[in-house]
Structure 1
């Protein structure tokens, strides 16, 4: 029996999604698409998931589109191509809009659509061997691929995004750290634990508040300041009424009171 092309692992409130095609450099293929959607269905339906890690098995995060499965020098069915492209577009959208924060643990090179998967995550941590390859020109395709032309300018600015996409540039881990594509770069052997430690820290925080923070961050990219402030006011007033806020506030006050008594 063939091994699943996408694995879903759980450690407490942390879900770990693993692209599992190491023999094909975790490339985006025909069978990987429904497997990703199925895993995202499971994650979305599990209220116990407080944080998600997305990574690849082996030395590569994701090689982008599979050159054999989804591309051909011969005539192809345009309707099937469009359905496949839109299917992967929905994967990126679902990752970006998951309620739980998503961490990309970029364990190696990520090309084209593979880089888009990582950029759709809320936070990306990278191994020293990680790299983003925006090399669409090698196969005569545009940079309008799985959200790259939308995500990249919002991370690095429009001029740098134009430079990377139009010149077909690759970005090393350290360059990505400087550009703001990665929050942290660590030795390859340490990446799984670093990503898991960050996920555990996020998961230990107030889950409702984390979801609201993510909503505010995502919405804020599309609106002016005054609109964002009004939206934040609505979200924060909702957070004020939550049981988690009341419980954590009570606990904090008790600790502060004890600290004051000891000083006295």
Structure 2
């Protein structure tokens, strides 16, 4: 089985600081890690590679240099009015496929947000399962400032679920910046750290997640994401019931119980 680390990408780098943890660093610092068609295509490729690698438990996502991600590369913006409706829809759907692929990987994704997360970069941070911020972090849905809608790359669906519809509307309609401390106060991020420590804090958090049963964590992610879209309490419970039934069929469940009884750390195999 190939490791995700065997793959090469042009728009980001991958490294594994600890067993089971991969750090994905957007690597276009000269443009504040702005997004391109190639980046979205590589999001799809890396998502497939991650799901094929059973050794990975958690993904940490961050940006090289002074920004997390500044959104769509405005150097390419001049072409947008010339694309026509169909051409623009194709471009938008290509980007959306990349974002959806990254959000849908089976393992937890932690965004360690350093500097600006603007426009599509904000959408990317929202797509992570967990967000922590550097003190320099600043978030904005700046779409309206360049004549676009904040209904882009999942922002209009994800943001209200994190901060509530009223606050999400205010952030979207003004295009204003949300700084790190406010982001933490309103539930946009879980914690704030010095810039030099935010990635190491994300890795430490990833390590605490990786200590648990891989199957249990992955089924938990699936339930949390799926139930955000389910329309009733009963349907949510039925999905949870299936997940618990699957979890009890694994060797890791038996190992967890034995470790608890024997007062020792569990040794999970992912089987």
Q: TM-score with structure 1 length normalisation?
A: 0.91
Kept after mapping to 1: 8 A contact 2:37/2:94:
no
Give distance in 2, aligned partners of 1:43 and 1:237.
25
Give distance in 1, aligned partners of 2:131 and 2:259.
32
Point out the structure with max Rg over C-alpha.
1
Match of 1:19 among 8, 12, 26: 26
Kept after mapping to 2: 8 A contact 1:40/1:94:
yes
Q: How large is the Cα RMSD of the aligned pairs? A: 1.7
Number of the residue aligned with 1:92: 99
Number of the residue aligned with 1:245: 253
Give distance in 1, aligned partners of 2:92 and 2:81.
18
Give distance in 2, aligned partners of 1:108 and 1:42.
28
Match of 1:153 among 157, 160, 163: 160
Give distance in 1, aligned partners of 2:76 and 2:87.
12
Number of the residue aligned with 1:197: 204
* Residue segments in structure 1 that go unaligned for 5+ positions in a row: 257-264
Give distance in 2, aligned partners of 1:252 and 1:26.
45
Number of the residue aligned with 2:242: 234
Quick check: 123-132 or 160-169, which moved more?
160-169
Number of the residue aligned with 1:44: 51
Number of the residue aligned with 1:261: none
Change (3 A) 1:214 1:73: closer
Kept after mapping to 2: 8 A contact 1:6/1:39:
no
Change (3 A) 1:73 1:239: closer
* Residue segments in structure 2 that go unaligned for 5+ positions in a row: 1-8, 265-271
Residue deviations 1:69-126, cap 9 Å, x none?
2444762354443222112211221222111000001011100110111111100011
Give distance in 1, aligned partners of 2:240 and 2:227.
9
Number of the residue aligned with 2:14: 8
Q: How many residues in Structure 1 have an aligned counterpart in Structure 2?
A: 254
- 1:30-41 to 2 correspondences below 5 Å: 30-41=37-48
Give distance in 2, aligned partners of 1:6 and 1:78.
30
Secondary structure of the corresponding residue to residue 144 of structure 1: coil
Q: TM-score with structure 2 length normalisation?
A: 0.89
Kept after mapping to 1: 8 A contact 2:61/2:110:
yes
Secondary structure of the corresponding residue to residue 222 of structure 1: coil
Number of the residue aligned with 2:269: none
Change (3 A) 1:203 1:46: same
